[in-house]
Amino acid sequence: MFSSKNDKKATFVEQKRQERQQREKQRQQQNAEQKRTAAAISVQRWWRHRAQPHLYWSYWDKQMGMFKAAPANHEAARLIAMYCFFSSCHPATSLPTPPPPPDQDRLINVCSLLSVPVATLLDTPSAPAYQSPQHRQKYLIFILCQCLYFICDIVSPGHCSPSPSTVPLTTLLQFLKPAAASLSSQKQLLEVTFELLRQARPNALQLAAYSRIDRLLKQLARPASSRDQKWIKSATLWLSSVTRLWMFPLEAGLPFLPQFGATILTIPMLATHLPPLLLTPVRQHAYSLLLLCTDSRWSDTFFNQQLDGNDWLFLLGNLITLFVPDATGRNAADIDDNCLGLLMDVVLRVQTACLPSWFSSRQHGSYRHYHPLFKWTSCSPPAVPLSPLVFEQVDRAQIALLWSPAFLDVVLRPILEWQSQPRMALTLASQRVFHLLYQLGQQFPVHWPTILTRLAFMPHLMPCLWHAMHQFGPQGQLAIYHQAAKHGLISVEKEPLIHVLKVFCEASSLVFLTLDDMDIFKEERPFTVKECIEMAGFLNMFFFSLLQKVGPKDELGKYYGVRRLLLQLYDLDSRHPFCPRDHWILVTSDAMAKKHPLLKLLMFNHGSTPSASQQVASSFLQQLRQGDAVPQQILQTMPHTISFCTRLAIFRDWIRLDKDAVQSSLLLPSYLIHIRRAYLLLDGFRALQKLPTSNWKGSIRIAFVNQLGMEEAGIDQGGPFKDFVTLLVNDVFHPETGLFSDTKDTHLLYPSNTSSLVHTNHLELFEFIGKVIGKAVYEGILLDCQFARFFLAKFLGRNVFLEALKELDEDVWKNLIFLKHYNGDAVDLGLTFATDEHLLGKIVTKELKHRGQDLTVTNDNKLEYVYLMADYKLNQQVRQQTEAFVQGFRSIISSSWVRMFTPSELQWIISGEDLDFDVPDLRRHTQYQNGYFEQHPIIKMLWQIVQEFTSHDKRAFLKFITGCPKPPLGGAQFFQPPFTIRMVSLDHQSVEGVQMMKAMFRLGSSQEKMGRLPSSSTCFNLLKLPAYTKKSVLREKLRYAIHSNAGFELS
């Protein structure tokens, strides 16, 4: 084992001997330490059972007084050890968790003992074992934890002393600051201290912060003169110090970034109350947090933390405040586009993955706690409740920065400069920002109108966005949207850029509400006419494609913004045609049917015959009866893609089916009422006011009563009811009745805003009139009344705006157009958000918004004024009257039936199309009585004369016989009852025998010029024509009769 010389043996033996001695010494030391520890435990156990803390604390206080008189390092260490020993022996606590400080004054005193530098305190050797460096480090951690307890008010959560001591907080800042000492143990000290607090009291800091923030915001909400400035300063200092304290572990290189975000950045409104000098380091750590959250390797570490919905909300608010520039330019110089991109990614992640699971708009399941912003939440109420003011401030002062003009100007710059942007960069920028804005609108629906308004009226944004959307995808030209729509709603929702289209349509819809014809067709801004045509075609095909595959109704509702803009363009084209012919119809060509299988069912050409139209309508209706949801969705959401003739035939078929169902359910086949001709409205209202809807749809028989109370002669086969409706309509629409007004030049009808001053029950009367009009449409009775287009739009559930005001009051419309395009200072015009009305000789002021009379119209708010004024005149001024009328109308005619028509088409249904009737068509569908027939010489003369009539004469002729100057839609075959001509004698005698033969061979008397005039029964669409033998006499007598309203007779 050893060499021959054996020179190393002595050295080896000596080494082994020393090792044995060292091991023996260590063993003895361990035994001694164990004995001391056991003794200390025994002493502690005995001390606890004594339960007389006042005795040993009195001793400590006495020793502390002596130390102040003659301070010494070894005495300070002894007092610190005694303090920790006495505190840990508190009966209510158990090791190893540090207990709360027993007394504020004693904690302050022991903090003063720590004025010795850390190196001296920890490393100075001392004889007693309890003063060893290891024990001293434990003591320091113990006291620092108690300081943390103290500043977090753990002793009494929610209590905020008016003037709390700053000594514990100063002690923490002194000892935990990484630069305070160059010790190898400093990092361990930081880690142990913060980890111990985090595990022992995870919500301590949050509760303390909640109480201070809540009171701080309440103080700041007061008038400046009544604020407690001293307390505000103290609370702000506390927030700053705690934030600085929690940055120490990060500065020491500890992996405390997730804890920093979950503990400090979840303090509500923290970032708005930090001093500027502290914002920079906080922003640096927050930026590191953004990088961590967007790094797939570490993001789960942060997002898997035990944070509730309010914590995520407050975290978002602080991150937004730190990185989003505000109106004052704060943060603008320190933030770059990359930083904002990271912020938007994190906000989207929190919005989509974190917040939805905590909040709900309705109360159900675990969502049983009220929330000031989201209505209902599953978050448990915190031990320190937060007032609604805190959530309101987070919402308005922090979250709202994401749609502030300063933020939008930065993030939307690539879109405004789309021509100079690479296609991929433009696509990614658009996807990110509009996905964020759309999610904000879904998460905060109360702010969605504000977001859309900011986007809609941001200069040049909408046309630039339209052009930018053409750059998306490899093919461009909006091809990505067409391709996604072909595969249905689920595929469209998976398209990353679909939010761009949604937001564009919602915002552009607001833009079109404020545009007038000068903007669109003369100045062509913000869109050119060509762009409007292209936009209409794209939206028409896109939404139609979505309907080809039926999806959940709520999913389709996400695209009603697309439909709204589409219908606005369609209404604009209906009012002021600018699109090519058949631009909207998608059901007329074989090529289109190949693209969309459903169109094979709906295919109908304009050149087809009416019978073909009815055939298509019947086939379409058959599919509806079979429960095919696709045709129903198309008919209800995009009726303009189907020809009007087809829709009209479907409408009539629906009424026929409804009549069959009503007749089978009625107990009585008809309902008889008595009407005095001089009191049509009064008697009709009293008799029919409370009649059930089913009876309204049934047969209503009318018995007219004369002045003596006797029923007039006549057989009611439906004619008297038509006569009653016609006369009633003429009565209620007369200006003297006080229910309706008419437009200045065109005399179109709409509810009067003074009706309440004339009739106390005006709303019941409007509902009754609405039922009468609905009954007329239900029975196919044409009425000679023309409603204003903006009023008809209410039947269809639509609101109307600026351009429709021209029809109501052209002077007001001109003034608003002038204001809208006024280049000077609008303040000079002296306008306020109020309008004056003349009511029965009095001037009444109506405010357009709250306290509008005191709000001056300026260049910044003049568009809002234009919008509110148009909305008031068209939608609000007679809102109650309109709602009552429409409610009555819809009780007879379902809203789903009429919504497939435009206002103009609905007017055609009510009063017929504004065209002259076709004489050959009327002749083909005319019935003859009492000796007349198709080839009768007098009938031939009649049709020759009618053919030669002017347009004015033709309308007078039709009104004379039917009560309405317009033919029914679809032609004379839809007259109800059928158009009829009856032979009558010249002298009021019956037409029999010789009289009939004379009339047949035109052997009239020479006195026929003195004979009777032609007469009519409008209730039966009946012309009573004497057998004139000369064409000149027939022409003269007929023209005289139709232009003098002569000869009404009840048959």
Q: Give catalytic residue positions.
A: 1019
Tokens of 705: 């009563």
The burial class, CB within 10 Å (0-12 / 13-18 / 19+), for 938 is buried
**DSSP, res 760:** T
| Cis status, amide bond into 96, omega within 30 of 0 | yes
947 CA to centre of own chain: 57
Q: Give the position of tokens 């803390």.
A: 53
Tokens of 941: 């003369």
- Backbone torsions φ then ψ of 1017, nearest 5 degrees: -125, 95
Closest of 848, 794, 813, 798 to residue 743, by C-alpha:
813
Tokens of 661: 């169902």
The burial class, CB within 10 Å (0-12 / 13-18 / 19+), for 32 is exposed
Coil vs helix vs strand at 1017: strand
Per DSSP, the residues of 510-553 read HHHHT--HIIIIIS--SS-HHHHHHHHHHHHHHHHHHTTS---H
**Dihedral angle over CA of 337, 342, 343, 345, nearest 10:** 120
d(CA 215, CA 235): 9
728 within 8 A of 744, measured Cβ to Cβ: no
Write the CA distances from 531 to 414, 459, 521, 780, integer angstroms. Answer: 21, 17, 12, 41
Q: Give the position of tokens 């919008």.
A: 867
198 within 8 A of 259, measured Cβ to Cβ: yes
Closest of 659, 882, 884 to residue 768, by C-alpha:
884
d(CA 868, CA 628): 42
d(CA 745, CA 737): 20
Closest of 191, 317, 198 to residue 248, by C-alpha:
191
d(CA 178, CA 656): 88
* CB-side neighbour CA atoms (13 Å) of 79: 26
d(CA 1010, CA 996): 19
- Helical (H) or strand (E) element with 64: helix 53-69
905 within 8 A of 644, measured Cβ to Cβ: yes
1000 within 8 A of 951, measured Cβ to Cβ: no
Closest of 168, 44, 22, 1 to residue 100, by C-alpha:
168
Closest of 923, 919, 979, 921 to residue 951, by C-alpha:
919
Pairing of strands 740-742, 699-705: unpaired
197 within 8 A of 263, measured Cβ to Cβ: no
Q: Which residues are CB-contacts of 774 (< 8 A; sequence separation ≥ 6)?
A: 696, 888, 889, 890, 891, 892, 893
Q: Which residues are CB-contacts of 619 (< 8 A; sequence separation ≥ 6)?
A: 601
719 within 8 A of 977, measured Cβ to Cβ: yes
| Cis status, amide bond into 526, omega within 30 of 0 | yes
Sheet bearing 980-984, strands edge to edge: 927-929, 980-984, 1022-1026, 1015-1017
Q: Which residues are CB-contacts of 794 (< 8 A; sequence separation ≥ 6)?
A: 882, 885, 886
